[in-house]
């Protein structure tokens, strides 16, 4: 394994260094030094015991390549020292900050990589390498230091960034991104007196926004290599610039590094947001009970449809459980807000409701109890709940709605909304709550839902309710149709669903006709 790694490092380092000499022409304004990233990533990915071997390989190669290109042996030793001290410094510091596996999509990891691997390490390399150049080529020290630093920093950022985020599964997308990026960069860096060099930036940012770093980083590397290759060939605005060579060099690398960094930061931001939303979605899904066939006298199915906006997390819930005296209790609720806090408030209300239903005399008392409970539950203010219980032997349904849209009852006589037992949402004003009763015929359906199912912008809620009644009647009349699914799939918005929605669907069976 170690020899394979050393072979890969040797080949990649040699190719990169030759590229620096031949294509980028080490004497010209281009100083991009890709091997800086090869050594850095090798050290970061391998255990410490491999480091001496990696550094020794790099040092020997550096001397051989330099001497091969006609440099004095002493200068070659200077560059060898620079190109080993640099990744060693970077890797030691990065490893102090991030001991475990490195994930550049995490803010802390990325910042450590940038501060130590991209800025500090190459600064050390440039101290040694710049001094070597200054002594060897009799140039000013600063005009030797600055290009060395910029070239190594950009090489470390793009190559080590690509290696550290490498994922085989992203390879096809990464290859496409690289091809497109090279094409766009070529267009941007072809004309000399037409400033188009910024053309790859929107592409890179779009990748950063939509793709993992395993796609964005190779694209950034491709842009860097393409831009430097074209500039080295005398194309593009930097080749045509007047002014001190070290400033041109540094600003070209700075431009490229800034573009790649911008894309990285976008990815980190998106990843952090998605992590939070993912956690909230998981919590919400975990809180919705699995609805099984174990309750007597009814068949239950339920469904949840999240809003299409990915950062939108709902506070909608449903629940079905056994209540005292052989009753079955069921609830649907909607907490104001769309974040983790809303999901947490929903969880607390759901538990409170289950507990209250075990002792309360009926739905009105359950809601009155929830009113009191919600005073001490953050985020429960203005929550709407529909709670009902059903007693199979007497076929009596008792229900109460706190600010919640009315349950829909489907009987052979047609659809009917249960408009009684209404009161305002939770935790607004204490006081008794009304409750209503209804006798349920055999084979009737009852549908409880949240407003995301019926609300449409610029339209009366009544229109949404009528639509629901129509769809539900049709679906219930077709045996074998999954009513929950067909209601949830019929998005009432004509566009993306802006609110999440839950449905609880009950079919009341005959007392002596179990299914």
Partner 1 sequence: MKIVRDRDGDAVRVALTGELDLASSDDVRSCLEEALAETRPARLLVDMDGVAFCDSTGIEALILARQAAVAQGTRLELVNVHGIARTTLEITGVLRLFS
Placement of tokens 């506070």 in the chain:
315
Q: Which of residues 429-448 bind partner 1 (CB under 8 A)?
A: 429
**Which neighbouring-strand residues pair with 505?**
301, 447
Residue 58 in tokens: 């790099």
- The pattern of x and - marking residues 367 through 386 that bind partner 1 according to CB under 8 A reads --------------xx-x--
Instruction: Evaluate whether 320 touches 330 at the Cβ level (below 8 Å).
Output: yes
Give the range of 161-169, 292-300, 304-312, 449-457 binding partner 1 by CB under 8 A. Answer: 449-457
**Which neighbouring-strand residues pair with 301?**
505
Instruction: Give the nearest distance from C-beta 502 to partner 1 in angstroms.
Output: 15
Instruction: Give the nearest distance from C-beta 179 to partner 1 in angstroms.
Output: 42
Of the pair 137, 376, the CB lying nearest partner 1 is at 376
The number of CA neighbours under 13 Å toward the Cβ of 277 is: 16
Instruction: Give the nearest distance from C-beta 505 to partner 1 in angstroms.
Output: 21
Residue 144 in the binding site for partner 1 (CB under 8 A): no
> Given candidates 111, 283, 309, 424, which one binds partner 1 under the rule CB under 8 A?
424
- The pattern of x and - marking residues 335 through 374 that bind partner 1 according to CB under 8 A reads -x--------------------------------------
Considering only CA atoms, give the Rg of the chain: 33
Residue 495 in the binding site for partner 1 (CB under 8 A): no
> Given candidates 308, 365, 455, 509, which one binds partner 1 under the rule CB under 8 A?
455
Residue 403 in the binding site for partner 1 (CB under 8 A): yes
Of the pair 248, 338, the CB lying nearest partner 1 is at 338
What 417-422 contacts at long range (C-beta under 8 Å, 24+ apart), as own/partner pairs, is 417/465, 417/469, 421/363, 421/364
Give the single-character DSSP code of 158. Answer: I
Give the range of 113-121, 252-260, 268-276, 419-427 binding partner 1 by CB under 8 A. Answer: 419-427
The number of CA neighbours under 13 Å toward the Cβ of 386 is: 26
Size of the site for partner 1 (CB under 8 A): 25
With vertex at residue 446, the alpha carbon angle to CA 443 and CA 448, rounded to the nearest 5 degrees, is: 165
Of the pair 232, 405, the CB lying nearest partner 1 is at 405
Placement of tokens 């001190």 in the chain:
244
Instruction: Give the nearest distance from C-beta 451 to partner 1 in angstroms.
Output: 7
d(CA 167, CA 13): 21
Instruction: Give the nearest distance from C-beta 468 to partner 1 in angstroms.
Output: 13
d(CA 242, CA 311): 48
Give the range of 245-253, 295-303, 352-360, 404-412 binding partner 1 by CB under 8 A. Answer: 404-412
> Given candidates 4, 457, 479, 515, which one binds partner 1 under the rule CB under 8 A?
457
Instruction: Give the nearest distance from C-beta 441 to partner 1 in angstroms.
Output: 26
| Helix pair angle (171-188, 200-210), 10° resolution | 160
First and final C-alpha spacing in the chain? 63
Instruction: Give the nearest distance from C-beta 305 to partner 1 in angstroms.
Output: 18
Instruction: Evaluate whether 389 touches 355 at the Cβ level (below 8 Å).
Output: no
Instruction: Give the nearest distance from C-beta 498 to partner 1 in angstroms.
Output: 9
Of the pair 225, 426, the CB lying nearest partner 1 is at 426
Residue 428 in the binding site for partner 1 (CB under 8 A): yes
Q: Which helix (H) or strand (E) holds 421?
A: none
Instruction: Give the nearest distance from C-beta 13 to partner 1 in angstroms.
Output: 56
Instruction: Give the nearest distance from C-beta 163 to partner 1 in angstroms.
Output: 44
> Given candidates 281, 305, 422, 505, which one binds partner 1 under the rule CB under 8 A?
422
Instruction: Evaluate whether 57 touches 107 at the Cβ level (below 8 Å).
Output: no
**DSSP three-state, residue 211:** coil
Question: Minimal CA–CA distance to 379: which of 434, 433, 313, 330?
Answer: 313
Residue 115 in tokens: 């501060």
Of the pair 199, 424, the CB lying nearest partner 1 is at 424
Instruction: Give the nearest distance from C-beta 450 to partner 1 in angstroms.
Output: 10
Total count of residues recorded for the chain: 515
Question: Minimal CA–CA distance to 56: which of 44, 72, 45, 42?
Answer: 42
Q: Which helix (H) or strand (E) holds 65?
A: helix 51-68
> Given candidates 117, 121, 314, 405, which one binds partner 1 under the rule CB under 8 A?
405
Give the range of 159-167, 236-244, 294-302, 456-464 binding partner 1 by CB under 8 A. Answer: 456-464
d(CA 370, CA 93): 55
Instruction: Give the nearest distance from C-beta 219 to partner 1 in angstroms.
Output: 36
Residue 405 in tokens: 């849209």
- The pattern of x and - marking residues 458 through 477 that bind partner 1 according to CB under 8 A reads xxxxx---------------
**Residues of the shown chain interacting with partner 1 in the complex, contacts defined by CB under 8 A:** 334, 336, 381-382, 384, 401-406, 422-425, 428-429, 451, 455, 457-462
């Amino acid at each position: 394994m170690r020899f394979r790694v050393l072979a890969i490092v040797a080949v990649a380092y040699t190719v990169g260094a030759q590229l620096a000499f031949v294509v980028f022409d080490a004497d010209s304004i281009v100083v991009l030094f890709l091997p800086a990233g090869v050594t850095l990533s090798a050290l970061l990915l391998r255990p410490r015991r491999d480091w001496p071997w990696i550094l020794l390989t790099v040092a020997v190669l550096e001397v051989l390549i330099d001497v091969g290109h006609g440099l004095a042996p002493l200068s070659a030793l200077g560059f060898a020292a620079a190109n080993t001290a640099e990744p060693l410094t970077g890797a030691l510091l990065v490893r102090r900050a991030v001991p475990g596996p490195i994930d550049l999509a995490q803010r802390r990891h990325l910042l450590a990589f940038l501060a130590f691997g991209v800025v500090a390490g190459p600064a050390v390399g440039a101290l040694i390498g710049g001094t070597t150049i200054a002594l060897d080529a009799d140039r000013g020290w600063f005009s030797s230091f600055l290009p060395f630093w910029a070239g190594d920093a950009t090489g470390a950022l793009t190559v080590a960034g690509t290696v550290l985020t490498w994922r085989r599964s992203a390879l096809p997308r990464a290859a496409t991104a690289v091809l497109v990026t090279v094409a766009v960069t070529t267009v941007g860096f072809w004309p000399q007196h037409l400033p188009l060099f910024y053309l790859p930036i929107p592409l890179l940012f779009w990748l950063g926004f939509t793709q993992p770093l395993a796609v964005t980083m190779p694209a950034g590397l491709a842009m860097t290599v393409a831009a430097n290759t074209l500039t080295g060939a005398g194309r593009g605005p930097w080749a045509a610039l007047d002014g001190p060579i070290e400033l041109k060099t540094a600003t070209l690398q700075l431009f490229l590094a800034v573009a790649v960094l911008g894309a990285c930061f976008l990815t980190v931001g998106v990843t952090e947001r998605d992590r939070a939303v993912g956690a909230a979605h998981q919590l919400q899904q975990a809180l919705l009970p699995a609805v099984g066939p174990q309750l007597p006298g009814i068949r239950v199915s339920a469904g949840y449809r999240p809003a299409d906006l990915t950062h939108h997390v709902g506070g909608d819930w449903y629940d079905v459980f056994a209540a005292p005296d052989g009753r079955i209790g069921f609830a649907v609720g909607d907490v104001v807000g769309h974040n983790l806090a809303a999901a947490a408030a929903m969880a607390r209300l759901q538990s409170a409701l289950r507990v209250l239903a075990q002792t309360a005399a009926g739905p009105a008392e359950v809601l009155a109890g929830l009113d009191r409970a919600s005073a001490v539950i953050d985020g429960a203010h203005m929550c709407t709940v529909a709670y009902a219980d059903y007693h199979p032997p007497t076929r009596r349904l008792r229900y109460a709605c706190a600010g919640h849209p009315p349950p829909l009852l489907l009987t052979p006589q047609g659809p009917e909304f249960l408009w009684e037992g209404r009161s305002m949402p939770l935790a607004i004003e204490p006081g008794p709550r009304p409750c209503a009763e209804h006798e349920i015929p055999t084979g009737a359906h009852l549908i409880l839902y949240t407003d995301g199912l019926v609300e449409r912008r610029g339209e009366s809620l009544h229109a949404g309710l009528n639509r629901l009644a129509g769809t539900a009647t049709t679906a219930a009349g077709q045996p074998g149709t999954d009513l929950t699914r067909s209601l949830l799939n019929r998005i009432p918005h004509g566009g993306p669903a802006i609110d999440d929605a839950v449905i609880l669907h009950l079919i009341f069976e005959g007392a002596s006709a179990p299914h």
